[in-house]
Structure 1
């Protein structure tokens, strides 16, 4: 067959594959939303296909296969029609002559806003890779605050790209895999989308450590049959016991993911055969009451392991995750890890914040945005400190801590629950309550006992902050032990403001002294409208900014005096 005929055959195959993928997409959407906007999605597909025509991916496939794959992942998250249409269009403005006004005219305001948000996330060119990454993350945080669906599409986009990462050169694979592990997987974790988090982690792990991934995959596969039969035996026994007390239940095995197994082996310094909690079971019931009822039955038939019970129903995780966790000595004396949750909790555990867009169609988007924003208090904090942090290295460091952090749950004296990063101190707690409480903190009581301010808090602690109006503000030493980004940035902000005031005072005195040495009336000069105009002509918005520049040595007092005598029409002297 000639090369031309081979290309024609390939084109036909690609068209058939893309059409089949579109029908598959419709099938998935209709399974959870029979009333979806088929026409909108069909038009979005046709527009994207037309504008990307002739463009190939590194794999040699038509480019449209990528928007289709991204849209399919959004459908797997059971997202609304608008989001899926935007997923199909997410690259058109960046990579083709298409424009946002055109997208808006053809597909409506909501789709256009999402596409615009995604387009603005495209990379900018800055001095260093770290600055570039920090700037892109700032844009992601702002985009999340405006409409969380922008980030859901971005996560789907990254997931599809990671699935086809093998077609990139090795250097690019490592770069993308590291970025995925450092940013995108933790972001999915923060949003509670565990299905995406786990896949991204495993795909990145395979790209970064192919040999270790392959070895681990082989070891897990060798023991899979034993684990599955063990879980099936335990499930049969538990289902019978629960049915006897009238609890309807669905029990399924829960596979451990390769990256989580690998990190546990590294963290604990253990071999694969020493990791005992590979055997896990998920128990799904109808109500919260049944969750606790099932827990009681489980602990009555199998002995619970000390320190392995966690109640995330009473105290949900930051990403809305709710479940009961326990590890028991199951049949044959083997450890068995069990999660207990309702079907609704399971949906949130799989889809996280995306669950707020399930079945949402026209007219409900504004309400969904509000509900999603209310659930993500950490996002509001991120918005706050991203606008306060100028240093890219510090921003990246803080973000990584904030994305990866585990939690402790502590109480105010009134019994209100406050969630903090693991390892937090009374200072972190004080700033979580209010900035002024943090600034004026002079001591703390934990469970009615005076403790040092660097004391590590634990879940269940009752905290009382001792404050004083005569306090001179935070101590620089606090920066050595605070754990939360909020506390760290509020403390830095306070010292930055204090330094500015000191610099302003020094600069003012320097200028006055320089004017006096010239025999000029400094008070009259700096109070005149002409001096304000001169300040602006030198590039300062306010005279205070000029004083700060003088005080920090960026501008010389002699330079300012020269400008005054040269540019001001009338310069009053001391006489």
Structure 2
């Protein structure tokens, strides 16, 4: 179900009470310097109030300042560090051009500025959600995934972006339908799978349910209605089951545990109905209970207790402790014929496994603490990040055997740039605008006379960088220059472009030889 969030505390004048908000935030996360976060909040609020209305690009009547606080709330629940929270609060001000990265670095440090800069780069991936123009939607999603790997060196950047998209999806309910559909599609295709890949269950479920509500409105409402009709009976049933399990645990002298009913999410119900071709009444885990215990051995002990009390449903047991899911998820899943002969799903895992399931990579961040020496943690985090993102195809669709191409898939010598209509093109890191032109289309390469990067004209020897939008300026006729084949001039760096240019000149030479041969033949014929 869609998560209900707590409102931000307000003063009598209707402004956000920053001190009260901070006090609430500190229930989730430890802040080494709370006053600095207050300064970030006050700066973001002041910049929004002083900004001309034309700068306020966020969804009306939303506030980009309050959105920043909401992002910080989400990241605080994930136990992120203070630099991440400061970056979240200031991000929209920088995005809207009210605050420069240089000013952020000077006042709040290079770390905060670097995080914001990374999120700004990730913002570019919304462009390719324009209608497909023949390059293939699967290829586009694959290139987006590669671009993310290439662009993100710090997992906190991705977490801030996920928080930002979560807030965006929460607020589009009052936006025009085309806007809500655009945001929902982006979240469903990219950010919900990313949250799953990083193991952040508490955000993954919300992103899936919210995007599903906009993309499949009728089916969402139908399932929500069925759940609501049975809610009182289901709540009574789960309460009785929980009390029964508590009695069983105490009887076996297990005193440290937690048992509660587990909310079933609408999107997962719909997906199971589609996958198994069943109707709502046949979905077993609408009635579900989760049991948390201290140790792995306790999990199997509790499993035995449950199976001794209720009959196990055949083919409905999964041991994700012995065989974890690819995102690290661990738990025992079983289904039993519970009271009143109703199917009941039960999940059993340790408290640590539950933290992992809800917080994912953030759980590791929380336990590891924050090392200010970036070099000492860079390799470990980069490898973990790549391993997680590389398996996205399990969630966003089949893009071929990506594991086989691991070295080239995220190779450090690749860049990912945009065409003007939003498609992603991958090139070697040394590529120039001419290489880009030939990668898009041979004729565009032949007619290339100039290039713009993000709207600014650059020389044809310019080295492209990931995330840039490249526009090629073409002539109506003509061909490539022979200077482009001179390696010392640096116009062309890829073998593909070089081969196309050489082929053009060979073709021209052939045409010239044919013309000269024809003229010679005609002269000889006249002599005869």
Q: Same fold by TM-score, threshold 0.5 exceeded?
A: yes
- Is 2:288–2:345's contact at 8 Å kept on the other side of the alignment? yes
- Is 2:484–2:491's contact at 8 Å kept on the other side of the alignment? no
Report the CA distance between 1:109 and its aligned residue. 1.8
- The reply to whether residue 33 of structure 1 matches residue 29 of structure 2 is yes
Q: Distance in 1 between matches of 2:145 and 2:185?
A: 15
For the structure 1 residues 127 and 277, does the alpha-carbon distance in structure 2 shift closer, same or farther, using more than 3 Å as the test?
closer
Q: Distance in 2 between matches of 1:534 and 1:354?
A: 50
For the structure 1 residues 236 and 14, does the alpha-carbon distance in structure 2 shift closer, same or farther, using more than 3 Å as the test?
closer
| 2:473 alignment partner in structure 1 | none
1:215 pairs, out of 205, 213, 222, with 222
Matches within 5 A, 1:114-513: 114-123=115-124, 129=131, 137-144=145-152, 146-247=153-254, 248-358=256-366, 363=371, 366=374, 372-376=381-385, 378-379=387-388, 381=390, 401-404=393-396, 484-487=401-404
Report the CA distance between 1:62 and its aligned residue. 3.3
| 2:111 alignment partner in structure 1 | 110
1:408-445 CA distance string (max 9 Å, x none): xxxxxxxxxxxxx9xxxxxxxxxxxxxxxxxxxxxxxx
- Is 2:197–2:388's contact at 8 Å kept on the other side of the alignment? no
Q: Which runs of 5+ in 1 are unaligned?
A: 1-12, 383-398, 406-420, 422-481, 494-529, 563-575
- Is 2:29–2:76's contact at 8 Å kept on the other side of the alignment? no
Q: CA RMSD in A?
A: 3.6
1:43 pairs, out of 35, 39, 42, with 39
- The reply to whether residue 19 of structure 1 matches residue 16 of structure 2 is yes
- Is 2:199–2:358's contact at 8 Å kept on the other side of the alignment? yes
Q: Distance in 2 between matches of 1:489 and 1:555?
A: 37
Report the CA distance between 1:550 and its aligned residue. 7.2
Q: Distance in 2 between matches of 1:201 and 1:531?
A: 53
Q: Distance in 2 between matches of 1:58 and 1:539?
A: 44
Q: Distance in 1 between matches of 2:30 and 2:408?
A: 52
1:453-497 CA distance string (max 9 Å, x none): xxxxxxxxxxxxxxxxxxxxxxxxxxxxx953223678999xxxx
1:60-88 CA distance string (max 9 Å, x none): 24331111111111112221111111100
Q: Distance in 2 between matches of 1:350 and 1:550?
A: 54
- The reply to whether residue 556 of structure 1 matches residue 473 of structure 2 is no
| 1:521 alignment partner in structure 2 | none
Q: Distance in 2 between matches of 1:362 and 1:550?
A: 51
| 1:437 alignment partner in structure 2 | none
**Under a length normalisation based on structure 1, what TM-score does the superposition of the two structures give?**
0.65
- Is 2:28–2:76's contact at 8 Å kept on the other side of the alignment? no
Q: Distance in 2 between matches of 1:267 and 1:361?
A: 41
1:141-163 CA distance string (max 9 Å, x none): 2344x100111111110111111
Q: Distance in 2 between matches of 1:127 and 1:347?
A: 33
Q: Distance in 2 between matches of 1:192 and 1:346?
A: 11
- Is 1:329–1:336's contact at 8 Å kept on the other side of the alignment? yes
| 2:476 alignment partner in structure 1 | none
- Is 2:485–2:491's contact at 8 Å kept on the other side of the alignment? no
- Is 2:355–2:363's contact at 8 Å kept on the other side of the alignment? yes
For the structure 1 residues 560 and 14, does the alpha-carbon distance in structure 2 shift closer, same or farther, using more than 3 Å as the test?
farther
Q: Distance in 1 between matches of 2:75 and 2:179?
A: 25
Report the CA distance between 1:14 and its aligned residue. 8.8
Q: Distance in 1 between matches of 2:143 and 2:390?
A: 17
For the structure 1 residues 112 and 377, does the alpha-carbon distance in structure 2 shift closer, same or farther, using more than 3 Å as the test?
closer
Report the CA distance between 1:181 and its aligned residue. 1.1
Matches within 5 A, 1:80-119: 80-119=81-120
Report how many residues are paired: 420
Q: Distance in 2 between matches of 1:203 and 1:360?
A: 32
Report the CA distance between 1:197 and its aligned residue. 0.9
1:328-383 CA distance string (max 9 Å, x none): 1222222111111111111111111121232776546746665544544524747x
| 2:475 alignment partner in structure 1 | none
Q: Distance in 1 between matches of 2:401 and 2:487?
A: 40
1:178-213 CA distance string (max 9 Å, x none): 111111111111111111111111111211233332
**Under a length normalisation based on structure 2, what TM-score does the superposition of the two structures give?**
0.70
SS in 2 for 1:255: coil
Give 4+ residue runs of structure 1 displaced > 6 Å after superposition.
124-127, 131-135, 488-493, 530-533, 544-547
Report the CA distance between 1:50 and its aligned residue. 2.2
- Is 1:550–1:557's contact at 8 Å kept on the other side of the alignment? no
Report the CA distance between 1:267 and its aligned residue. 2.8
For the structure 1 residues 240 and 538, does the alpha-carbon distance in structure 2 shift closer, same or farther, using more than 3 Å as the test?
closer
For the structure 1 residues 111 and 329, does the alpha-carbon distance in structure 2 shift closer, same or farther, using more than 3 Å as the test?
same
- Is 2:303–2:348's contact at 8 Å kept on the other side of the alignment? yes
| 1:523 alignment partner in structure 2 | none
Q: Distance in 1 between matches of 2:505 and 2:368?
A: 58
Q: Distance in 2 between matches of 1:219 and 1:546?
A: 59
Q: Distance in 1 between matches of 2:33 and 2:176?
A: 39
SS in 2 for 1:110: helix
- Is 1:51–1:92's contact at 8 Å kept on the other side of the alignment? yes
